[in-house]
Every structure is written in structure tokens, then in C-alpha cells.
Amino acid sequence: MTDLATGSESTIQGKPTSASRTTLSHIMTHADTNLLGTVHGGVIMKLVDDAAGAVAGRHSGGPAVTASMDEMAFLEPVRVGDLVHVKAQVNWTGRSSMEVGVRVLAERWNESTPAQQVGSAYLVFAAVDADGKPRLVPPVLTETDRDRRRYQEAQIRRTHRLARRRAIKELREARAAKGYDD
């Protein structure tokens, strides 16, 4: 593998998905609610970003910044008194980027019923050095059939992200060439 800053060859030992997988749990209070009385989507998104950031930092062995969040799905409302569990793991790695998959589960704090999935998201993180420049990340080593499926699906999402970015750039360049000032 080539070091991004120096261009010299270096090898980084891969890390298994289990090495950085984590769960962040938080009980929802009235301070977390929106005007409808349920937990604000932004509160859930912050928990998702926090858990994903922890996983990205653990996997990469240092600072990692959020590059994008996509496919954030809110499946069920979260209520005051729910104990929310945000489960995150690295699904895929590139040279300096990682896709982190996140599942959000909720259960009533005072009941012994199973937690229900209430959301999911995919985030891309870039590993950075002290100067904010990209740095290499270890390859993710899949351990289970589920990990391998997540890796393959992450590759598809990456292809779609890159194609979307390229198409938007081409459209903007074409509009600029025609004199449109967007």
C-alpha cells in the first residue's frame, strides 16, 4: 500500500470487524423531543454520528472525520423514556476512507421486551492526520457471512456515491459552459 503523504510503500495490517464494533446507549428525555413530543431526528442522527465516529477512530487508530451520511432511515418514532442502542461497525475500507454501518434500536427503559429497530444509516469517514490530511486505514477483515454481505453492499453504495458525484459535477460543468450562474 502507498502512504498518501509520502508516496512510499507501507503495509498496514488489517483489522477484523469485531475489533472496532461498538454500541452506544442513551436514555431519551424530554430535552430530546421535537414539537410532536417524540425524539427529534437530529438527536438520533447525532448519536449515530457519535457511534460511527468512535468506530471509525478505533478502526483507523486515530482521528477520523465524517465525510458523508446517506440512507439515514427512521423506521419508527422514538419516545421519551426509550433506551436507545446505536450499534456500529466498519463495513468497508478504502485507502483513507471507511463506510460505517449503524443500526438504531429502542426499548422501553422499564420493560423487559426486546429492543426494536427504529433506524439505520451509512456514514463515510475519512481518516486524517494531525494536519487534517488523509492517512491510510487498515483493511477491514470480514469474519462472518453477514460481514461479507455488508462489505459487498458497501462496495455497491460506494460505486453509486461516486457515480452520483461525477454526474452532478458534469451537469454543473455543462451548465457553467452555457453561461448559467447557479
**Cell numbers that stand for 47 in this block:** 448519536
The per-residue pLDDT for range 64-122, each reduced to its tens digit, is 999 999 889 999 999 999 999 999 999 999 999 999 999 999 999 899 899 999 999 99
For the chain, the straight-line distance linking the first and the last C-alpha, in angstroms and rounded, comes to 40
Cell of 57: 477512530
Query: What is the spatial distance between Cα 160 and Cα 15, in angstroms, rounded to a whole number?
Result: 26
Express each pLDDT in 5-59 by its tens digit. Answer: 444 445 789 999 999 999 999 999 999 999 999 999 999 999 999 999 999 999 9
pTM of the model: 0.88
